[in-house]
Amino acid sequence: MLNIFIPSKKFSESENRVLEQLHRFSFEQLFNGKFTSNFEKYISDQFPLRDFWIGVKSNSERVIGKKENNDVYLGKDNYLMEKFNKYNKKDLKEKINAINSFAKNNPKLNKYFMLVPNSIKVLEEKLPKYAPHEEELEYIEEVKNLLDKDVEFIDVYNELKEHKDEYIYYKTDHHWTTKGAYYAYEKLCKSMGLKYHDNEYFYTEKVTDNFYGSLYSKGGFRNLEPDSINLYIPKKYEEVRVEYLDNKEKDDSLYKLENLKKKDKYTVFFGGNQPLIKVTTNTKNKKKLLLVKDSYANSLIPFLTGNYSEIYIVDLRYYNEDISKLIKDNKIKDIFILYNVKTFSEDSAISNIS
Protein backbone atom coordinates (compact mmCIF):
# COMPACT_ATOMS: atom_id res chain seq x y z
CA MET A 1 0.00 0.00 0.00
CA LEU A 2 2.79 2.41 0.93
CA ASN A 3 4.63 1.69 -2.30
CA ILE A 4 1.68 3.10 -4.22
CA PHE A 5 2.11 6.51 -2.57
CA ILE A 6 5.89 6.68 -1.97
CA PRO A 7 7.94 7.59 -5.08
CA SER A 8 10.51 4.98 -6.11
CA LYS A 9 14.15 5.72 -5.31
CA LYS A 10 16.60 5.31 -8.16
CA PHE A 11 19.84 5.00 -6.19
CA SER A 12 20.86 3.87 -2.71
CA GLU A 13 23.65 6.03 -1.31
CA SER A 14 24.33 3.66 1.58
CA GLU A 15 24.51 0.56 -0.67
CA ASN A 16 26.12 2.44 -3.58
CA ARG A 17 23.97 0.83 -6.26
CA VAL A 18 21.07 1.45 -8.62
CA LEU A 19 17.77 0.16 -7.22
CA GLU A 20 15.26 -2.00 -9.09
CA GLN A 21 12.43 -0.08 -10.77
CA LEU A 22 8.89 -1.23 -11.50
CA HIS A 23 8.74 -3.02 -14.89
CA ARG A 24 5.88 -2.51 -17.30
CA PHE A 25 3.34 -5.30 -17.03
CA SER A 26 2.79 -7.68 -19.94
CA PHE A 27 1.16 -11.11 -20.15
CA GLU A 28 4.24 -12.47 -21.93
CA GLN A 29 6.52 -11.52 -19.00
CA LEU A 30 3.92 -12.76 -16.51
CA PHE A 31 3.71 -16.21 -18.12
CA ASN A 32 7.49 -16.68 -18.50
CA GLY A 33 8.06 -15.64 -14.89
CA LYS A 34 10.09 -12.49 -15.56
CA PHE A 35 7.48 -10.04 -14.28
CA THR A 36 7.03 -11.73 -10.89
CA SER A 37 10.79 -12.14 -10.47
CA ASN A 38 11.42 -8.47 -11.27
CA PHE A 39 8.49 -7.40 -9.11
CA GLU A 40 9.97 -9.28 -6.14
CA LYS A 41 13.30 -7.43 -6.63
CA TYR A 42 11.37 -4.15 -6.93
CA ILE A 43 9.49 -4.73 -3.65
CA SER A 44 12.74 -5.61 -1.89
CA ASP A 45 14.64 -2.57 -3.19
CA GLN A 46 11.76 -0.12 -2.72
CA PHE A 47 10.62 -1.39 0.68
CA PRO A 48 9.46 1.65 2.72
CA LEU A 49 12.22 2.96 5.02
CA ARG A 50 14.58 0.31 3.63
CA ASP A 51 17.76 1.94 5.02
CA PHE A 52 16.13 2.26 8.45
CA TRP A 53 15.24 -1.45 8.54
CA ILE A 54 18.72 -2.44 7.33
CA GLY A 55 20.06 -0.43 10.28
CA VAL A 56 17.67 -2.19 12.68
CA LYS A 57 18.78 -5.59 11.36
CA SER A 58 22.45 -4.61 11.61
CA ASN A 59 22.12 -3.31 15.18
CA SER A 60 20.13 -6.36 16.28
CA GLU A 61 22.78 -8.72 14.93
CA ARG A 62 25.55 -6.74 16.62
CA VAL A 63 23.70 -7.01 19.95
CA ILE A 64 23.59 -10.81 19.69
CA GLY A 65 27.28 -10.86 18.73
CA LYS A 66 27.17 -11.40 14.97
CA LYS A 67 30.38 -10.09 13.41
CA GLU A 68 30.08 -11.19 9.77
CA ASN A 69 27.76 -10.39 6.92
CA ASN A 70 28.18 -10.98 3.19
CA ASP A 71 31.89 -11.90 3.61
CA VAL A 72 32.59 -8.71 5.56
CA TYR A 73 33.82 -8.91 9.15
CA LEU A 74 33.19 -6.25 11.78
CA GLY A 75 36.47 -6.10 13.66
CA LYS A 76 37.91 -4.22 16.61
CA ASP A 77 37.80 -0.42 16.49
CA ASN A 78 34.93 -0.80 13.99
CA TYR A 79 37.22 -1.90 11.16
CA LEU A 80 35.37 -3.64 8.32
CA MET A 81 37.54 -6.28 6.65
CA GLU A 82 36.71 -8.36 3.60
CA LYS A 83 37.15 -12.12 3.76
CA PHE A 84 39.88 -13.63 1.57
CA ASN A 85 38.39 -16.76 0.04
CA LYS A 86 40.08 -19.94 -1.12
CA TYR A 87 41.69 -19.43 -4.50
CA ASN A 88 41.94 -21.62 -7.57
CA LYS A 89 45.55 -22.76 -8.10
CA LYS A 90 45.02 -23.48 -11.79
CA ASP A 91 43.64 -19.96 -12.25
CA LEU A 92 46.65 -18.49 -10.41
CA LYS A 93 49.12 -20.36 -12.62
CA GLU A 94 47.34 -19.11 -15.75
CA LYS A 95 47.69 -15.51 -14.54
CA ILE A 96 51.37 -15.90 -13.68
CA ASN A 97 52.03 -17.66 -16.99
CA ALA A 98 50.55 -14.64 -18.77
CA ILE A 99 52.86 -12.28 -16.88
CA ASN A 100 55.88 -14.51 -17.50
CA SER A 101 55.02 -14.77 -21.20
CA PHE A 102 54.80 -10.99 -21.39
CA ALA A 103 58.18 -10.71 -19.62
CA LYS A 104 59.85 -13.06 -22.12
CA ASN A 105 58.40 -11.12 -25.06
CA ASN A 106 59.76 -7.84 -23.64
CA PRO A 107 63.29 -8.71 -22.46
CA LYS A 108 64.64 -5.12 -22.55
CA LEU A 109 61.87 -3.81 -20.29
CA ASN A 110 62.51 -3.25 -16.56
CA LYS A 111 59.69 -5.18 -14.89
CA TYR A 112 58.37 -4.81 -11.32
CA PHE A 113 55.40 -6.41 -9.61
CA MET A 114 53.78 -5.50 -6.28
CA LEU A 115 51.00 -7.57 -4.68
CA VAL A 116 49.53 -5.65 -1.74
CA PRO A 117 48.08 -7.54 1.23
CA ASN A 118 44.66 -6.40 2.38
CA SER A 119 43.71 -5.17 5.84
CA ILE A 120 42.50 -8.65 6.81
CA LYS A 121 46.17 -9.73 6.91
CA VAL A 122 48.04 -6.59 7.97
CA LEU A 123 45.48 -5.77 10.69
CA GLU A 124 44.56 -9.38 11.50
CA GLU A 125 44.64 -8.74 15.26
CA LYS A 126 41.50 -6.66 14.73
CA LEU A 127 39.56 -9.62 13.31
CA PRO A 128 36.79 -11.20 15.40
CA LYS A 129 37.94 -14.31 17.23
CA TYR A 130 37.92 -17.50 15.12
CA ALA A 131 36.95 -15.61 11.95
CA PRO A 132 37.67 -18.08 9.11
CA HIS A 133 39.67 -16.86 6.11
CA GLU A 134 42.38 -18.08 3.79
CA GLU A 135 46.00 -17.05 4.37
CA GLU A 136 47.03 -14.14 2.14
CA LEU A 137 50.75 -14.50 2.84
CA GLU A 138 50.70 -18.04 1.46
CA TYR A 139 49.12 -16.70 -1.71
CA ILE A 140 51.71 -13.91 -1.98
CA GLU A 141 54.54 -16.42 -1.47
CA GLU A 142 53.14 -18.68 -4.18
CA VAL A 143 52.94 -15.77 -6.62
CA LYS A 144 56.53 -14.82 -5.80
CA ASN A 145 57.76 -18.38 -6.43
CA LEU A 146 55.92 -18.73 -9.75
CA LEU A 147 57.07 -15.41 -11.20
CA ASP A 148 59.87 -15.31 -13.74
CA LYS A 149 63.14 -14.06 -12.19
CA ASP A 150 63.18 -11.29 -14.77
CA VAL A 151 60.19 -9.76 -12.96
CA GLU A 152 61.27 -8.18 -9.68
CA PHE A 153 58.73 -8.90 -6.94
CA ILE A 154 58.32 -6.07 -4.42
CA ASP A 155 57.02 -7.34 -1.08
CA VAL A 156 55.45 -4.58 1.05
CA TYR A 157 53.93 -6.71 3.82
CA ASN A 158 56.64 -5.92 6.38
CA GLU A 159 56.53 -2.20 5.60
CA LEU A 160 52.77 -2.10 6.11
CA LYS A 161 52.88 -4.33 9.18
CA GLU A 162 55.48 -2.04 10.73
CA HIS A 163 52.97 0.82 10.52
CA LYS A 164 49.86 -1.19 11.43
CA ASP A 165 49.00 1.17 14.31
CA GLU A 166 48.75 4.09 11.89
CA TYR A 167 45.83 4.95 9.62
CA ILE A 168 47.00 2.89 6.62
CA TYR A 169 43.67 1.21 5.70
CA TYR A 170 40.22 2.72 5.58
CA LYS A 171 37.77 1.37 8.14
CA THR A 172 34.74 1.23 5.84
CA ASP A 173 36.46 0.64 2.48
CA HIS A 174 38.64 -2.10 0.99
CA HIS A 175 41.46 0.24 -0.10
CA TRP A 176 44.56 1.36 1.71
CA THR A 177 44.73 5.04 2.67
CA THR A 178 47.07 7.53 1.07
CA LYS A 179 49.44 7.02 4.00
CA GLY A 180 49.50 3.28 3.33
CA ALA A 181 50.20 3.98 -0.35
CA TYR A 182 53.06 6.30 0.65
CA TYR A 183 54.87 3.55 2.57
CA ALA A 184 54.56 1.30 -0.48
CA TYR A 185 55.89 4.15 -2.67
CA GLU A 186 59.00 4.34 -0.45
CA LYS A 187 59.65 0.61 -0.87
CA LEU A 188 58.98 0.82 -4.62
CA CYS A 189 61.52 3.61 -5.12
CA LYS A 190 64.17 1.71 -3.15
CA SER A 191 63.58 -1.37 -5.29
CA MET A 192 63.64 0.57 -8.56
CA GLY A 193 66.64 2.70 -7.62
CA LEU A 194 64.61 5.91 -7.63
CA LYS A 195 64.92 8.83 -5.24
CA TYR A 196 61.79 9.08 -3.13
CA HIS A 197 60.38 12.21 -1.52
CA ASP A 198 60.17 12.11 2.27
CA ASN A 199 57.24 13.42 4.29
CA GLU A 200 58.75 16.91 4.45
CA TYR A 201 58.25 17.23 0.70
CA PHE A 202 54.44 17.16 1.11
CA TYR A 203 51.75 18.82 3.11
CA THR A 204 48.70 16.74 3.96
CA GLU A 205 45.24 18.05 3.10
CA LYS A 206 42.13 16.38 4.48
CA VAL A 207 39.58 16.73 1.70
CA THR A 208 36.72 14.87 3.42
CA ASP A 209 35.92 13.26 6.75
CA ASN A 210 32.62 11.78 5.58
CA PHE A 211 33.64 8.80 3.46
CA TYR A 212 31.68 5.55 3.69
CA GLY A 213 33.34 3.02 1.41
CA SER A 214 32.66 -0.25 -0.39
CA LEU A 215 32.65 -2.49 2.71
CA TYR A 216 30.09 -0.26 4.40
CA SER A 217 27.84 -0.81 1.38
CA LYS A 218 28.55 -4.53 1.09
CA GLY A 219 28.53 -5.53 4.77
CA GLY A 220 25.33 -3.77 5.81
CA PHE A 221 26.78 -2.69 9.18
CA ARG A 222 25.52 0.72 10.19
CA ASN A 223 26.14 3.40 12.83
CA LEU A 224 29.87 3.45 12.13
CA GLU A 225 32.17 6.46 12.03
CA PRO A 226 33.04 7.59 8.49
CA ASP A 227 36.56 7.62 7.09
CA SER A 228 38.60 10.62 6.04
CA ILE A 229 40.60 11.00 2.82
CA ASN A 230 43.91 12.83 2.86
CA LEU A 231 45.88 14.02 -0.14
CA TYR A 232 49.65 14.43 -0.11
CA ILE A 233 50.29 17.70 -1.97
CA PRO A 234 53.88 18.67 -2.94
CA LYS A 235 54.92 21.91 -1.23
CA LYS A 236 56.72 22.82 -4.42
CA TYR A 237 54.33 23.18 -7.35
CA GLU A 238 54.47 20.29 -9.82
CA GLU A 239 52.86 20.87 -13.19
CA VAL A 240 50.93 17.91 -14.57
CA ARG A 241 48.72 17.22 -17.56
CA VAL A 242 46.31 14.31 -17.37
CA GLU A 243 44.83 12.85 -20.56
CA TYR A 244 41.99 10.32 -20.37
CA LEU A 245 42.69 8.75 -23.74
CA ASP A 246 39.46 6.77 -24.05
CA ASN A 247 37.23 9.85 -24.06
CA LYS A 248 39.82 12.52 -25.06
CA GLU A 249 39.27 14.42 -21.81
CA LYS A 250 42.17 16.53 -20.48
CA ASP A 251 42.82 17.95 -17.02
CA ASP A 252 45.57 19.78 -15.16
CA SER A 253 44.98 17.94 -11.90
CA LEU A 254 45.39 14.36 -10.68
CA TYR A 255 42.29 14.76 -8.55
CA LYS A 256 38.58 15.01 -9.31
CA LEU A 257 37.58 17.06 -6.28
CA GLU A 258 33.98 17.28 -7.47
CA ASN A 259 33.68 13.53 -6.79
CA LEU A 260 33.92 14.23 -3.07
CA LYS A 261 30.23 15.07 -3.35
CA LYS A 262 29.48 11.52 -4.53
CA LYS A 263 29.03 8.32 -2.55
CA ASP A 264 32.27 6.74 -3.78
CA LYS A 265 34.64 9.46 -2.68
CA TYR A 266 37.69 7.30 -3.45
CA THR A 267 37.09 8.30 -7.08
CA VAL A 268 38.67 11.65 -6.14
CA PHE A 269 41.76 9.88 -7.53
CA PHE A 270 41.51 10.16 -11.34
CA GLY A 271 37.72 9.85 -11.25
CA GLY A 272 38.02 6.11 -10.55
CA ASN A 273 39.27 3.33 -12.83
CA GLN A 274 39.87 4.26 -16.46
CA PRO A 275 41.07 2.18 -19.46
CA LEU A 276 44.10 4.33 -20.29
CA ILE A 277 45.44 7.53 -18.76
CA LYS A 278 48.56 9.47 -19.72
CA VAL A 279 50.13 11.73 -17.11
CA THR A 280 52.76 14.21 -18.30
CA THR A 281 54.83 15.99 -15.65
CA ASN A 282 57.44 18.76 -15.60
CA THR A 283 60.13 16.26 -14.57
CA LYS A 284 62.98 16.64 -17.07
CA ASN A 285 64.48 13.12 -16.95
CA LYS A 286 62.48 11.84 -19.97
CA LYS A 287 61.80 8.57 -18.13
CA LYS A 288 58.56 6.79 -18.98
CA LEU A 289 56.58 4.31 -16.90
CA LEU A 290 53.73 1.97 -17.76
CA LEU A 291 51.62 1.12 -14.73
CA VAL A 292 49.26 -1.86 -15.03
CA LYS A 293 46.98 -1.78 -12.04
CA ASP A 294 43.79 -2.12 -10.06
CA SER A 295 42.25 0.65 -7.97
CA TYR A 296 44.84 0.35 -5.17
CA ALA A 297 47.30 2.15 -7.47
CA ASN A 298 45.10 5.21 -7.87
CA SER A 299 46.26 6.78 -4.60
CA LEU A 300 49.92 5.82 -5.16
CA ILE A 301 50.35 7.28 -8.64
CA PRO A 302 50.56 10.95 -7.50
CA PHE A 303 53.77 10.15 -5.58
CA LEU A 304 55.47 9.04 -8.82
CA THR A 305 55.03 12.29 -10.74
CA GLY A 306 58.38 13.52 -9.41
CA ASN A 307 60.16 10.43 -10.81
CA TYR A 308 58.85 10.19 -14.37
CA SER A 309 58.18 12.66 -17.16
CA GLU A 310 55.42 10.42 -18.54
CA ILE A 311 53.27 7.80 -16.82
CA TYR A 312 50.88 5.58 -18.79
CA ILE A 313 48.21 3.99 -16.60
CA VAL A 314 46.34 0.91 -17.83
CA ASP A 315 43.51 -0.98 -16.19
CA LEU A 316 43.20 -4.29 -18.03
CA ARG A 317 39.62 -4.71 -16.86
CA TYR A 318 38.68 -1.97 -19.33
CA TYR A 319 41.63 -1.78 -21.77
CA ASN A 320 41.58 -4.19 -24.71
CA GLU A 321 44.48 -2.98 -26.86
CA ASP A 322 47.94 -4.51 -27.31
CA ILE A 323 50.13 -3.67 -24.29
CA SER A 324 53.38 -4.45 -26.14
CA LYS A 325 52.42 -2.04 -28.93
CA LEU A 326 51.70 0.69 -26.38
CA ILE A 327 55.19 0.15 -24.92
CA LYS A 328 56.89 0.19 -28.32
CA ASP A 329 54.99 3.20 -29.69
CA ASN A 330 55.85 5.32 -26.63
CA LYS A 331 59.41 4.00 -26.03
CA ILE A 332 58.63 2.94 -22.47
CA LYS A 333 61.48 1.36 -20.47
CA ASP A 334 59.82 0.57 -17.09
CA ILE A 335 56.65 -1.35 -16.27
CA PHE A 336 55.14 -1.61 -12.81
CA ILE A 337 52.27 -4.01 -12.09
CA LEU A 338 50.33 -3.29 -8.90
CA TYR A 339 47.37 -5.27 -7.57
CA ASN A 340 45.88 -5.97 -4.17
CA VAL A 341 45.73 -9.65 -3.25
CA LYS A 342 41.95 -10.05 -3.28
CA THR A 343 41.42 -8.43 -6.67
CA PHE A 344 44.34 -10.33 -8.20
CA SER A 345 42.98 -13.65 -6.90
CA GLU A 346 39.41 -13.04 -8.09
CA ASP A 347 39.78 -11.05 -11.33
CA SER A 348 41.18 -12.63 -14.49
CA ALA A 349 41.94 -9.40 -16.40
CA ILE A 350 45.70 -9.63 -15.82
CA SER A 351 45.70 -12.59 -18.23
CA ASN A 352 45.17 -10.05 -21.02
CA ILE A 353 48.69 -8.68 -20.54
CA SER A 354 50.35 -11.31 -22.75
340 φ, ψ to 5°? -90, 155
Each residue of 131-172: pLDDT tens digit?
A: 988 899 999 999 999 999 999 999 999 999 999 999 999 999
On the question of pLDDT at 77 being above 90, the answer is: yes
Other CB atoms closer than 10 Å to residue 134's CB: what's the count? Answer: 14
The helix/strand/coil state of 32 is: coil
pLDDT in tens, 199-226: 889 999 999 999 999 999 888 898 899 9
Measured CA distances, 192 to 99, 103, 196 (Å): 19, 17, 10
What are the strands, taking DSSP E only, across 117-237?
A: 151-154, 202-211, 227-234
> For position 57, what pLDDT does the model report?
77
Examine the pLDDT at 63 and tell me if it is beyond 80.
no
Q: What is the pLDDT of residue 58?
A: 73
The whole-model pTM stands at 0.86
Whether 64 shows a pLDDT value over 90: the answer reads no
pLDDT at 16: 52
Model pLDDT for residues 93-116, shown as the tens digit of each residue: 999 999 999 999 999 999 999 999
What order do you get walking across the sheet with 240-244 strand by strand?
151-154, 110-116, 334-340, 288-293, 310-314, 276-281, 240-244, 249-251
Q: Which one, of 326, 266, 331, 256, lies nearest residue 296 by Cα?
A: 266
How far from the centroid of its chain's Cα atoms is residue 116's Cα? 11
Q: pLDDT tens across 267-277, in order? A: 999 999 999 99
Tell me how crowded residue 151 is: count the other CB atoms within 10 A of its CB.
19
